[in-house]
């Protein structure tokens, strides 16, 4: 009997021993990790906040998971709790790792300005190489090559084209879709801004005009229209990111996602050949500019077709979602804050007293519109986390709750999360940071504390593209229509704070995405 008991106990004893060894190993690893950061204050999670499960699926569970979209939700509250503008988060699974989360303007400027000391951890971006190597998934000399070819494509001529196309597309919306009605109700304004951004990218990005009522058939040799392929890719990008290659053909949904990517790639390759072999007519769309810039470079920087396709895709898809979501959130803010909307109306009425369409030359008279967009991006930061790592032993300087400077040792290989949402709500730089006050951006403000387009050499090259589109679209809308939140019986007794929370509710996507923004557009006299 005793021998049987011994045999039964042996596996249990072995498992307990292995578990004990594993736990001891983890404890030692955690101690060494936080010791390397001089025991800087922070918090612990069992699951890494970088994991999809922790950041996109699970709610916040103390000690277990940071929670869905946690950096956007928390903003600066965790920094206040930890008493410093930089805090540490240490996770155990899948491996022990400490990350420094940063919302200090000085430290962030140092991080984004020194690409050698604080490189981008490109291994985190490998899944974005849908069509090949591109500027987002590269670093070092490879990144310099892509930057050299791409930068000239974002020209002043392209910005003007963006503006002109946006104005025309908005006019078509008013005329062909809304029919100049006295009042138009939309259940979700994202449906409008998503299509708008798509059409602007089609025209100013690819040189292909689209229509709100397009009924054309697919081009010969294609299963999808260009417009539909671009639209589906924008919608299905998360499917493409989440589903491994071996599983992409298992369901109708994933097969359709793959089809849209295949069709868009085919269109882009055809367009490269068309630009090179077609007429010499001057074109200013982004795609043509990029092809021309590449063809003029006879040196080692010249890109292969796959690299041209990959880079133009990254620019356009990233810009599309950011612009569509930001414009939708801005409409929500203006509907909630009527006094701010009226300031915009007065400005555009003063700039265009004859009621004409806004021209690109009028943009400097419409600075308040850009301020309204900036304030939206400050409060609802499109990309909350900009990951970096350290290439050498270094230090960072933070500010504690008493306003004192704290020097933090940062060993080589440390992961860093530049928390733009925390930075944008740091009361050291922004008075009453949760309030919507576009006037902040009409005077002096700390530009190092505003990071919606990243910073340093890797800042977004499409910034002017996005800003031109946003200001032109807002100017057209506000000059013609008054924007209000749709009244719904089930929300009749909500407070302003409850209404704001509901209308600005969001989910995590490639960028922070509005869930439902129900608005009414009423024609102005």
Q: Residue positions in the annotated binding site for heme? A: 460
Listed residue (322, 325, 334, 324) closest to 500, CA to CA: 334
Q: Which two tokens stand for residue 77?
A: 């509250």
Question: What would the DSSP string read from start to end of 267-327?
Answer: HHHHHHHHHHHS------SHHHHHHHHHHH--STTPPPHHHHHHHHHHHHHHHHHHHHHHH
Torsion of CA 291, 297, 300, 301, to 10 degrees: -50
Listed residue (190, 234, 101, 137) closest to 515, CA to CA: 190
Q: Strands (DSSP E) along 309-414, which ranges?
A: 385-389, 394-399, 405-410
Listed residue (471, 209, 462) closest to 360, CA to CA: 471
Q: Which two tokens stand for residue 49?
A: 């906040």
Residues 6 or more apart from 455 whose CB is under 8 A from it? Answer: 108, 109, 112, 113, 448
C-alpha count within 13 angstroms, C-beta hemisphere, residue 203: 22
Annotated binding site: 460
Q: Which two tokens stand for residue 333?
A: 């803010």
The torsion angles phi and psi of 101, rounded to 5 degrees, stand at -100, 125
Indicate the SS3 state at residue 91. strand
Q: Which two tokens stand for residue 410?
A: 């940062």
**Cα–Cα distances in Å, from 336 out to 138, 331, 479, 494?**
41, 9, 17, 13
């Amino acid at each position: 009997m005793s021998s049987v008991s011994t045999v039964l106990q042996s596996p249990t004893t072995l498992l307990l021993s292995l578990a004990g060894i594993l736990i001891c190993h983890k404890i030692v690893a955690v101690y060494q990790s936080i010791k390397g950061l001089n025991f800087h204050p922070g918090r612990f999670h069992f699951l890494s906040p970088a994991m999809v499960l922790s950041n996109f699926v699970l709610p916040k569970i103390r000690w277990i998971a940071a929670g869905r979209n946690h950096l956007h939700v928390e903003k600066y509250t965790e920094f206040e709790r930890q008493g410093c503008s930089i805090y540490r988060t240490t996770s155990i699974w899948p491996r022990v790792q400490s990350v420094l989360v940063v919302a200090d303007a000085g430290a962030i400027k140092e991080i984004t300005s020194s690409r050698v000391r604080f490189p981008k951890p490109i291994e985190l971006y490998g899944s974005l190489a849908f069509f090949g190597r591109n500027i987002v998934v590269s670093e070092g000399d490879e990144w310099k090559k892509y930057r050299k070819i791409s930068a000239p494509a974002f020209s002043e001529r392209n910005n003007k084209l963006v503006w002109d196309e946006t104005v025309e597309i908005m006019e078509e919306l008013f005329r062909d879709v809304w029919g100049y009605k006295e009042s138009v109700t939309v259940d979700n304004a994202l449906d409008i801004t998503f299509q708008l951004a798509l059409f602007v990218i089609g025209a100013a990005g690819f040189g292909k005009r689209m229509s709100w009522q397009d009924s054309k058939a697919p081009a010969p040799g294609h299963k999808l229209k260009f417009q539909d392929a671009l639209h589906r890719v924008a919608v299905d990008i998360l499917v493409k990111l989440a589903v491994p290659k071996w599983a992409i053909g298992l369901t109708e949904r994933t097969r359709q996602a793959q089809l849209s990517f295949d069709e868009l790639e085919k269109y882009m390759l055809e367009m490269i050949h068309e630009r090179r072999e077609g007429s010499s007519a001057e074109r200013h769309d982004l795609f043509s500019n990029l092809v021309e810039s590449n063809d003029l470079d006879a040196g080692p920087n010249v890109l292969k077709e796959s690299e041209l396709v990959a880079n133009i895709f990254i620019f356009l898809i990233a810009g599309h979602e950011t612009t569509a979501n930001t414009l939708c959130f801005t409409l929500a803010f203006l509907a909630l804050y009527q006094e701010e909307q009226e300031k915009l109306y007065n400005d555009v009425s003063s700039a265009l007293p004859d009621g004409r369409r806004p021209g690109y030359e009028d943009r400097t008279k419409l600075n308040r519109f850009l301020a309204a967009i900036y304030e939206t991006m400050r409060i609802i930061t499109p990309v909350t986390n900009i990951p970096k790592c350290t290439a050498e032993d270094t230090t960072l300087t933070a500010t504690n709750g008493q306003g004192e400077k704290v020097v933090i040792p940062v060993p080589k290989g440390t992961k860093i999360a530049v928390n733009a949402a925390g930075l944008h709500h740091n009361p050291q730089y922004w008075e009453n940071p949760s309030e919507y006050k576009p006037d902040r951006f009409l005077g002096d403000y700390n530009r190092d504390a505003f990071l919606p387009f990243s910073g340093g050499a890797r800042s977004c090259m499409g910034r002017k593209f996005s800003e031109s589109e946003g200001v032109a679209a807002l100017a057209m809308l506000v000059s013609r229509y008054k924007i209000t939140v749709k009244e719904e019986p089930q929300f009749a007794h909500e407070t302003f704070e409850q209404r704001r929370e509901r209308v600005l509710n969001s989910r995590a996507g490639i960028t922070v995405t509005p869930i439902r923004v129900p608005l009414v557009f009423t024609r102005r006299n």
